[in-house]
Amino acid sequence: MSVLFPINLEGALEALLFVSPEPLSLKKIAQTLELSVEEAKEIVLRLQEKLEQDQRGIMLHFSGEEVWLTTRPDFSVYIERLFKPPAQHLTQATLETLAIIAYKQPVTKTEIELIRGVKADSSIATLLEKGLIEEAGRKDAPGRPIIYRTTAKFLEFFGLKSLDELPPLNLENEAVNDGNNNFEE
């Protein structure tokens, strides 16, 4: 071994495996750590045993001539939590705005506000940011207001294949049926 200073070879191997995007061959490990292939194999087996005994969050796999690290299956629930996208909660106001857009599209902000009776800027901004609606052009009317429509992400978010799967509106029992809802079929 031609290393010029004392080194924790198991730690060095663990670092190499951690940064490598693919399995490393015993030959590559031996070259990098300046060891013989037999010495590299001994270090691999020692590290594998140590990781197993300590019940660490990672496992070393050694198959044939290749070595790689994976996370221990026991800890998969924590990994899933880390990478799971946060739940997308929509406020009641935002859901109402989205419902208006879904059923009346393409629709302008002014039309949404006439139906809801309140400003819709914040709800529209949230829906645009989440990708549930998009600008669909401009209405041929004074001021050329932006018109909005739902997106494919909207369909996915609500588990729909098409807008035809939207449940029918029952305005007689809905709070939106106050005589000013402007829904037209």
Q: Which CATH class is domain 9-82?
A: mainly alpha
Q: Fold identical between 9-82 and 92-173?
A: yes
Q: Residue 15: in which H helix or E strand, if any?
A: helix 9-19
User: pLDDT of the chain along its 185 residues, tens only?
Assistant: 554 455 899 999 999 999 999 999 999 999 999 999 999 999 999 999 999 999 899 999 999 899 999 999 999 999 988 887 766 688 999 999 999 999 999 999 999 999 999 999 999 999 999 999 999 999 999 999 999 999 999 999 888 889 999 998 776 544 444 444 443 33
In the CATH scheme, what architecture does the domain 92-173 have? Orthogonal Bundle (1.10)
Question: Residue 150 in 3-state DSSP?
Answer: strand
| Domain ranges within the chain, ordered by starting residue | 9-82, 92-173
The reply to whether omega before 106 is within 30° of 0 (cis) is yes
For the entire predicted model, the pTM comes to 0.49
